Structure formats: structure tokens, C-alpha cells
Structure 1
Amino acid sequence: MQLVFATNNLNKLKEVQSLIPDHIKLLSLKEIGCFEDVPETQNTIKGNAIQKAEYIKEHYGYDCFADDTGLEVEALNNEPGVFSARYAGPQRDANDNMDLLLNNLKEKPNRNAQFKTVVSLHLNGNLKTFTGICKGEITLDKKGNQGFGYDPIFMPNGYTETFAEIDLKLKNEIGHRGKAVAKLVEFLNTL
């Protein structure tokens, strides 16, 4: 089986490739000749995941899956949510995003947050979605240099290290994307 993973994020691609079984050949957008930004104009994480998968199927004809992820912070009414990548502006800079988030939380005692990933699979004319959630809290400052995005300020429940301090294998086991992709793989293994 061959599937396109509709992302231009090389960190995400690397993370997901380690989760997909060997009998499924994963193609990147680059490998199918897709160099444009795939639209993400929906107002929900699930909506964006579906939109990206449908775009690749419609414009390139490949069976594919796409994901969208958001960080939802309780004290900020679940912001940044669907706007996580562009929270501090269209430049999509992770440090700017983290700095703005830490600043917005400065006076707030509640630091509870969750990462939410929705994976949308477009396969054989059918559409399915899979959701993964990882609960945790926002740290007071950045810690660690692994991972990407908000990983240096997100500490999953039950751990004393941020996502940027733990190794990729553990992050995939306990993290939002790993949980959503595990559900996707479980479904693909039934076919």
C-alpha cells in the first residue's frame, strides 16, 4: 500500500514515518510534485485535516492522509487551537509563538493544556478521521532542544520533562500525534 502524507513539515514527516509499518510506503508532498501550500482555511483542527486530505486527492489523485494539530490552553479559552502555527503571526515562527503564549499566561495560575491531533484519511473514496489527545501543562520557560513547535514548553501529565527533553520514541508513545497515527495504523491493518 502507498499513501501520501500531506505535510511540508519535515519534523512531522520524520515523526510519522517512524510510526507507519514497513508494508505501507509513505510518500511526501515533494515526492508527488506538490510544492504549493496546501490550504488550511477551516475553523477547526478536524476541518483543516479533512481539507488537506481532500485537496491532495482532488488535485493529485493519491490516497492520502493529513493531520492538523493544535495546542489548547484552558486559561486562554483553548487558544491558540487551530491557529497554533500562526499564533504570533503569519511567519509561523515557533519561538515567537512560544514567547507570546508564555506572555499571555504570565498572570494565570492555571497552566493546563492539551495537544490535539486529528488525522484525516482519504482512501478508496472514503474519508475517516482519527483523534489523539495528550494532556499536560505549559511550563514557565522553554526546556529542551528536541522536537518542534511548542514542545519546549509542554510537559505531558505524569512526566517531569517537556516534549523537547524526551526522546522521539517516548513522545510517539504518549503524544497526541502518536495516538492519532496509532489509530490510523490499526485501521489500515484491518484492510
Structure 2
Amino acid sequence: MKRPDSIVIASQNVHKVIEFEDAFKNTGVTIKSLKHFDNVPKIDETGTTFEENATLKATGIMNFTHQAVIADDSGLVVNALNGQPGVHSARYAGDHDDDANNNKLLKEMQNKQDRSAYFESVLVYLTPEGDRVVSSGRIDGQILRARRGNDNFGYDPLFYVPAQQKTLAEMTTHDKNMISHRGNAIRNLLSQLLELWD
């Protein structure tokens, strides 16, 4: 499998792109974000799994850029809610409204004894030559009954990691990336690619 000169991360999210830049810094591959392109098409995430959505994104962006692409889809899976919010995590109570999403999660979990949950991230790497590599990562934790921490990104203030005795919102970005679902998925993907690339 040919090593590309650059890979497009199918995201406008600066934090995500920095995470990929950091992981790929010694590979000789340049990381680009969607901010490098004009008139990027909107990809409808109509899949029922993280992998389906990541594949839809990767395919759409690869067809648009004609370059190697990595797309991710991730979300929160709560066991007591039958796997919800899952693929609907970002739009659980309104489109990318973290506050509303957290309020809905607290309400739905009000009378639940089982607080176990996990974040899952699935990455799909696609190239115009037809290469496809899939990787996933997860982090297990519990849903608290009240928010903790100042980094109010997504569900982080409610997601408690027993091994760290902190919520994700109480951790530094570096510490969070070392254990996060996306961090784990990126490390898994990179180790696969380094074995496959010429």
C-alpha cells in the first residue's frame, strides 16, 4: 500500500485535526483539514452505525478532494438507554447543542441505577486507489448525576472515568487524548497504516 504525501481529515474541528497532526508528525505525511478546501459538500450521516457514518464521510470527501482521507464518527453509548444516544450523540436534543444534549441525558438517566457507558470512535481511511482501513477505540466510564469540570465539550462533564477518578472535562487535553476513544482509535489506525505502507 502506497504511503500518501498528505491525508485529508474529514473535519473542520480544529481540536480533532491537531490530534491527527500530533499522531502523524513523524510519518512524513502532511495532515490537511477541510479548511484547506472551498465549497466542501455537506455529507448526510444517514448510517445506523459509527462505521457506516465514517464510511459515508470518507467516501464523500475522497470523491471531492481525490486524495487519501480519514473520517471518524463517534459517540456516547449508554447501556441503561439501550445504546442511546449512539450515532445521534451530536444531535441528541438539538444539533450540536452540548448543553441541551447534557440536560436531556441527565433527565433520561434520572431513575437509572446502571450508570455504565462508553465512548466509541470509528475511523475509516480511504484512498482513490481503493485502499480501506478501519480502526476503532473506546473508553469506558460512568454517567454522573451532575456536571463536573470546566472543559465543556460534548458529554465530557458527565462522563466519569473511574481509573482516573475524574470526568473527561476535568482532564487536560493531553491527558484526555492519551486515554480517549479517538486517541485510541488514532493510535490503532496509525499502527495498522505503518505496517501496510511501503
**Which bin holds the TM-score, normalised by the shorter protein?**
over 0.9
Q: CA deviation at 1:88?
A: 0.1
Q: Out of 101, 106, 112, which is 2:110 matched to?
A: 106
Moved more, 108-117 or 34-43: 34-43
Deviations 1:93-113 (A, max 9, x none): 011101100110011111100
Query: What residue is the counterpart of 1:14 in the other structure?
Result: 18
Measure, in 2, the Cα distance between the counterparts of 1:182 and 1:46.
17
Relative to total residues, which structure has the larger helix share, 1 or 2?
2
AA aligned to 1:126 is D
Q: Is the 8 A contact 1:11 1:148 kept in 2?
A: no
Query: What residue is the counterpart of 2:187 in the other structure?
Result: 182
From the CA coordinates, give the structure whose radius of gyration is larger: 2
Q: Is the 8 A contact 2:59 2:126 kept in 1?
A: yes
Q: CA deviation at 1:180?
A: 0.4
Q: Cα gap change, 1:148/1:64 in structure 2, threshold over 3 Å: closer, same or farther? A: same
Q: CA deviation at 1:24?
A: 2.1
AA aligned to 1:138 is I
Measure, in 2, the Cα distance between the counterparts of 1:36 and 1:178.
27
Query: What residue is the counterpart of 2:119 in the other structure?
Result: 115
Identity value in percent: 35
Measure, in 1, the Cα distance between the counterparts of 2:151 and 2:39.
28
Q: Out of 85, 89, 92, which is 2:90 matched to?
A: 85
Query: What residue is the counterpart of 1:59 in the other structure?
Result: 64
Query: What residue is the counterpart of 1:126 in the other structure?
Result: 131
Deviations 1:23-69 (A, max 9, x none): 22110111022544332111111100111001011122111000000
User: Which segments of structure 1 move beyond 6 Å, counting only runs of 4 or more?
Assistant: none
Measure, in 1, the Cα distance between the counterparts of 2:102 and 2:14.
20
Deviations 1:104-145 (A, max 9, x none): 001111110000000000033111110101110111111112
TM-score (norm: length of structure 2): 0.90
Q: Which runs of 5+ in 1 are unaligned?
A: none
Q: Cα gap change, 1:34/1:14 in structure 2, threshold over 3 Å: closer, same or farther? A: farther
Q: CA deviation at 1:185?
A: 1.2
Measure, in 2, the Cα distance between the counterparts of 1:129 and 1:2.
18
AA aligned to 1:150 is Y
Q: Cα gap change, 1:117/1:34 in structure 2, threshold over 3 Å: closer, same or farther? A: farther
Query: What residue is the counterpart of 2:161 in the other structure?
Result: 156
Measure, in 1, the Cα distance between the counterparts of 2:99 and 2:17.
21
